Structure 1
Amino acid sequence: MSSVKQYMKFVKPYKWKIFWTIMVGIIKFGIPLLMPLILKYVIDEIIVAEGISNADKINNLFWIMGIAFVVFLVLRPPIEYIRQYLAQWVGNKILFDIRDKLFDHIQKLSLKFYSQTKTGEIISRVINDVEQTKNFVITGLMNIWLDLITILIAIGLMLTMDVGLTIVSIILFPLFGFSIKYFFSKLRRLTRERSQALAEVQGHLHERIQGVPVTRSFALEEYEQEQFETRNRNFLDKALHHTDWNAKTFAVTNTITDLAPLLVIAFAGYQVIMGNVTIGTMVAFVGYLERVYSPLRRLINSSTTLVQAIASIDRVFEFMNEKYDIVDKENAIDPGRVKGSVDFRNVSFRYEDETNPVLKDINLNVRQGETIAFVGMSGGGKSTLISLIPRFYDVTGGAIQIDGIDIRDMKARSLRNNIGMVLQDNVLFSESIAMNIRMGNPDATDEEVIAVAKAANAHEFITSLTNGYDTLVGERGVKLSGGQKQRIAIARVFLKNPPVLIFDEATSALDLESEHLIQETMEKLASDRTTFIVAHRLATITHADRIVVVENGEIVEIGSHHELMQKQGSYYDLYQIQNLDEKQV
């Protein structure tokens, strides 16, 4: 399905509003078409009329102008207001619906998509490109039709006055149509290329603003300036190419629209001299030429605007049509609150761009309430393994079951409602501490928020802040320390109260004092829950019921800390290395 057809689905609910906007617009644009007729009447029937006294002429002039003033001063302003308001209302409502749909789409896209796409480019499509599509509604579905109707009404009125003059007036229309077709066929591609170049600039800028501390610490300002300038110049080149072609379009089409009045003036002047038409008719025709060719010029502008809008529509729906990696089955079930037993059955996994499997034939039975720790060298597959539990990715072989049900048979949202995660780098939103804790349960009361903050050992430091729970944490929690952010993240998991917990390197980036505090809080949270821990520091997981050593995507050892130390295998070696490193430090 073409992007324009998809866009029209969002337009359809407002079709009657658009219809009435066009109807009101016809009246709005039709009223000025009376002006040349008034001018013709004043010249032919009043000013140069014979056999009428000056007093009668003045009386007739006042009457006709009085009626005209009522129409233009009393009737036209409210019509203009209604038309403008309806047009903008419809345009903005459609944009609201599209952005709403896009945000829902954004939340369903896979982590793989986000690992391959810059945030700034996504923002560019949701904000800039969607905003550009409003012109398709206002210009393409309203203004173009109004201009065409205005032209047809004007030509109809001209035909009632003089057929020959009318033919001369529109004789250049075919040439005008050919030039539009020739120039605008290329303009859509150029517009799309320019939009993509702008999105690349925005994506690079967003990423580099977040990385300013890195740029400063490595003194890379000049290098980064060059990198930005490369992308900025690419946008400039695309914009200038687009501008060059656009300027050629206007130069040709405006020349055509300027030639037509000259032809009419020459032919009409000859006809007046020969006595075939009146001066009033000639003046009215010149007036109607403006009414015909002004909409034509607007159509040129509209065509440019429409091409840009369609290019933006293409980009919006290219993004909206991005496939989901994780999709619920038609008969997917809502398991409610699970008990928490988890079985890995011959689980294998590979990323699409990887030739070798990341995980190979993983078999592990985890009982309800058991704490399992995954350890091993970096790149062994530990984090990948736990990311399969909430279906951030789907297994490529085997199955993962919770309470005996394949997680692929569950609704993804219901599955994730049963899982709480604390990561190494937890994202906090730039709002209040209370709001960030409420991410675990948006309907929680203030008392519940305070209770979980106390359970997470966070209440004391929160109340020491100037605004307490109303303190704004800044983007990604920049105003808080690593340990404070972790305690907020743990508090919101307490508030969620899930039966399954996942800790992925939750303490690896903290100092020893913060690590000890977080460790104590994690153990409190893990009580009576099925818990998975990925840990770099082995000293933090000695309490686990079982420790699973993962190497090169395979399980090589399983047992308690005591059992694995006695075995003196891979885990023993890792533990000894870490102890030596800590002693040297």
Structure 2
Amino acid sequence: MGSIRRYLQFVKPYKKIIFVTVVIGVLKFGIPLLTPLILQHVIDEIILADGIAVGDKVNSLFWIMGGAILLFLIVRPPVEYYRQYFAQWTGSKVLYDIRDQLFTHIQKLSLSFYSNRKAGEIISRVINDVEQTKNFVITGLMNIWLDMATILIAVVIMLTMNGWLTLVALALFPLYIISIKYFYTRLRDLTARRSAALADVQGHLHERVQGMNVIRSFALEDYEQEQFDKRNSTFLERAVDHTKWNAKTFAVVNTITDIAPLIVILAAGYFVLRSGLAVGEMVAFVSYMERLYAPLRRLINSSTTLTQSIASMDRVFEFVDEKYDIQNKENAVPLNHARGDVEFENVSFQYEEESDEVLHDMNLKVKAGETIALVGMSGGGKSTLVSLIPRFYDVTAGSIKLDGKDIREYEVRTLRDKIGMVLQDNILFSDSVKMNIRMGNPSAADEEVEAAAKAANADSFINELSQGYDTPVGERGVKLSGGQKQRIAIARVFLKDPPMLIFDEATSALDLESEHLIQEAMENLAQDRTTFIVAHRLSTITHADRIVVVENGRIEEEGSHEELMNKNGSYKKLYNVQHI
């Protein structure tokens, strides 16, 4: 029930509109409850009445039915419209609020969370599971109350007509309630398992769609079909288990609701024959049985729907409860201005508590405006080291200081606002070139965007595109070459204009022309900024003020290119290997 209480916090702002919707709904379901009474009156007071002329009977029939038809034509349509509109509007607004909060939550989760989760699974929580919870608002907070109100009104009317027949009509209610309690406890668990299997299918599919070029290039179609079939089969098993139990539920409960009217017809017929019950009253009472058990059948469907909604709620709030690894301290202050003095002080780091340390007791001082190149063999900890500066991860031991203060003392967003990053695989969004550059500063004018592109040596190729700056780049920038994507990434950092820069393998795997253009743009960007460059190709970092050799999570050497070449150490060996 904890999930329901939490969900109701999202519903609370709309409680007035929900109340109005329920009141309108009572009118909607209440009006048809007049039909059996009208039927009783027509049979007993008009058709079977003694001492009244046929003409008078016809006249009375037309008057009463004309009034009833007018009631249904004038009152019922607007009541039906507003009940449906308010119900759907409220449900949609609640979903909007939940997804809005979930997206905020998504942006705060740490990178370690994303490294252990499939994107498709996260999307499934935000889209599919949240959508399922809408039924809780419409069904659980509206329709169930309407159906219960309908049942209550019907029972009250039936009691005024014949108390004994009403007791007969309600005789199977306890059995109905026991059946619901028994079946729906199990159904909730089966629904959760089915949702988890569906999320697994969606996550696998999302990955494979993104990596379709790998599948094609290695001719893995048959293998991948088998892998997808395994997950799809698991979902099928979960869905069939859910369907079997759901079918048992409907079989038992609908049998109860079908037998009850037959018992009432038997009892009512007996009362007509033995106790003088009027025929019209019997017909009206049997009609009320349909009005009584139709809501009960809807409650069965509602129970199934609510079970699915609550299972989805559990998955949504399980996602909401994911902890943030990186959070602002209570007394964190905004970083309004940064000179760019950075100091690593006895820094150690490990990704997981059970894993080995990636960085070991590292010390490094960097002056404002200095360009530092980090080099070494793959897996040495270079990228990990620079990812600690914007607090993508927090140090396990030691501290990183910016302008003399531990970076954990600053508000995270203001810290990252002072850092510009260009990575090996920069993500471009499926929007225009202009919008991708503008992510560096969303309020920038077109002229500023173009100036940033020129500074990044990107303006010439952008103008050659089919729609220039308005050209869509495709998902993840698939329509652009690697060098073009890098230059757009550099352009948006130019537009951001931060005091600190991080280039993590920004020129690797590029052709020589692209590398030259990007190298030139990077050097222009790095002027008067504290800059960290992670590079494998040593020829691209010989200009750096200092080169730091990182091996096995430790600093082995540091100095200028000339100083390290004279040391005949690790750096010279790496350099010679690349220039043989």
Q: Please, what TM-score do these two structures have when normalized by structure 1?
A: 0.98
Q: How much has 1:412 moved relative to structure 2? A: 0.4
Mapping of residues 168-187 of structure 1, within 5 Å: 168-187=168-187
Q: Could you say which residue in structure 1 is the equivalent of 2:392? A: 392
1:123: how far off?
0.7
Could you say what secondary structure the match of 1:56 adopts?
A: helix
Q: Amino acid of the residue matched to residue 510 of structure 1?
A: L
Distance in 2 between residues matched to 1:334 and 1:442, nearest whole Å: 20
Counterparts of 1:218 and 1:174 in 2: how far apart (Å)? 63
In 2, Cα distance between equivalents of 1:6 and 1:58: 59
Q: Distance in 2 between matches of 1:530 and 1:68?
A: 83
Matched, 1:192 2:192: yes
Distance (Å, rounded) in 2 between the aligned partners of 1:413 and 1:372: 24
Q: Which amino acid aligns with 2:150?
A: T
Within a 5 Å distance, the mapping from 1:346-365 to structure 2 comes to 346-352=346-352, 354-365=354-365
Query: Which residue does 2:68 correspond to in 1?
Result: 68
Please list the CA deviations of residues 384-430 of structure 1 after superposition, one character each: whole Å capped at 9, or x if unmatched.
00000000000010110111111101110000000000000000000
Alignment map for 1:37-436 (pairs within 5 Å): 37-352=37-352, 354-436=354-436
| 1:525 lines up with 2:525 in the alignment | yes
| Corresponding residue number in structure 1 for 2:29 | 29
Letter matched to residue 207 of structure 2: E
Q: SS state of the match for residue 498, structure 1? A: coil
Partner residue in 1 for 2:543: 543
In the alignment, the residues of structure 2 paired with residue 181 and residue 4 of structure 1 have an alpha-carbon distance, to the nearest angstrom, of 18
Deviations 1:193-225 (A, max 9, x none): 000000000000000011111111111110000
Q: CA deviation at 1:361?
A: 0.9
> Aligned partners of 1:357 and 1:120: how far apart in 2?
30
- Distance in 1 separating the partners of 2:402 and 2:276: 94
RMSD, aligned CA: 0.8
- The letter for the 1-side match of 2:492 is R
Q: Measure the CA separation in 2 of the matches of 1:497 and 1:7.
A: 42
Q: CA–CA distance in 1 between the matches of 2:337 and 2:110?
A: 24
1:482 paired to 2:482: yes
| Alpha-carbon separation, structure 2, partners of 1:33 and 1:20 | 20
CA deviation profile, 1:114-134 (whole Å, cap 9, x unmatched) = 000000001111111110000
| CA deviation after TM superposition for structure 1 residue 466, in Å | 1.3
Amino acid at match of 1:146: L
Counterpart CA distance in 2 for 1:452 and 1:291 is 70
User: Structure 2 CA distance, aligned partners of 1:240 and 1:539?
Assistant: 61
Alignment gaps of 5+ in structure 2: none
Deviation of 1:51 after TM superposition, in Å, equals 1.6
Count the aligned residue pairs: 580
**2: CA distance, partners of 1:355 / 1:437:** 38
In the other structure, the counterpart of 2:534 is 534
Whichever residue aligns with residue 23 of structure 1, its letter is V
Which runs of no fewer than 5 residues in structure 1 stay unpaired? 581-585
Q: Report which stretch shifted further, 214-223 or 54-63.
A: 54-63
SS across alignment from 2:579 = helix
Q: Distance in 2 between matches of 1:503 and 1:130?
A: 38
Deviations 1:146-193 (A, max 9, x none): 101100000000000000000001100000001101110100000000
After superposition, the C-alpha distances for 1:32-69 in whole angstroms (9 at most, x for unaligned) are 00000000010111111112111221121111111101
Mapping of residues 424-573 of structure 1, within 5 Å: 424-573=424-573
Cα distance in 1 for residues equivalent to 2:460 and 2:382 = 34
2:437 and 2:286 map into 1 onto residues whose CA distance is 71
Task: Report the Cα distance in structure 2 between the residues aligned to 1:180 and 1:356, rounded to whole angstroms.
Answer: 52
AA at the equivalent of 1:65: M
The alpha carbon displacement at 1:372 in A equals 0.3
Hey, what does 1:583 align to over in structure 2? none
Please report how far the alpha carbon of residue 354 of structure 1 lies from its aligned counterpart in structure 2 after TM superposition. Answer: 4.5
Q: TM-score, normalised by structure 2?
A: 0.99
CA–CA distance in structure 1, aligned partners of residues 455 and 519 of structure 2: 13
Task: Write the distance in 1 (CA, Å) between the matches of 2:18 and 2:327.
Answer: 36
CA distance in 1, matches of 2:99, 2:78: 31
The CA distance in 2 between the partners of 1:570 and 1:403, in whole Å, is 31
- The amino acid across from 2:210 in the alignment is Q
The superposition leaves residues 12-32 of structure 1 with CA deviations (integer Å, 9 ceiling, x where unpaired) of: 011111111101000100000
Separation in 2, partners of 1:2, 1:415? 36
Distance in 2 between residues matched to 1:92 and 1:113, nearest whole Å: 29
CA distance in 2, matches of 1:433, 1:389: 28
Distance 2:503 2:43 in 1: 88
- Structure-1 separation of matches of 2:158 and 2:312: 39
Q: Alignment partner of 1:400: what SS?
A: strand
- Specify the code of the residue in structure 1 equivalent to 2:332: A
SS in 2 for 1:274: helix
SS of the equivalent of 2:555 reads strand
Structure 1 Cα separation of the partners of residues 442 and 436 of structure 2: 9
TM-superposition CA deviations, 1:238-284 (whole Å, max 9, x none): 00000000000000000000100110000100111124310011000
State the distance in 2 between where 1:49 and 1:355 align: 91
Structure 1 residue 86 displacement after superposition: 0.2
CA-to-aligned-CA distance 1:286-323 (integer Å, 9 cap, x gap): 11000000000000000000000000111111111111
Tell me by how many angstroms 1:356 deviates: 2.0
Q: Distance in 2 between matches of 1:122 and 1:4?
A: 21
SS class of match (1:428)? coil
Structure 1, residues 438-464: CA drift from partner, whole Å, max 9, x if none? 000000000000101000000000011
1:337 CA drift (Å)? 2.2
Partner AA of 1:415 in structure 2: L
Letter of the 1:330 partner, please give it.
E
Provide the secondary structure at the position in 1 that maps to 2:378: coil
Give the AA of the match of 1:191: T
Distance 1:137 1:348 in 2: 49
Structure 1 CA distance, aligned partners of 2:335 and 2:187?
53
CA distance in 2, matches of 1:371, 1:41: 95
Structure-2 separation of matches of 1:45 and 1:401: 93
Distance 2:443 2:299 in 1: 52
Matched AA of 2:531: T
Q: Which amino acid aligns with 1:95?
A: L
1:353 CA displacement? 5.0
What is the one-letter code of the residue matched to 1:568?
N
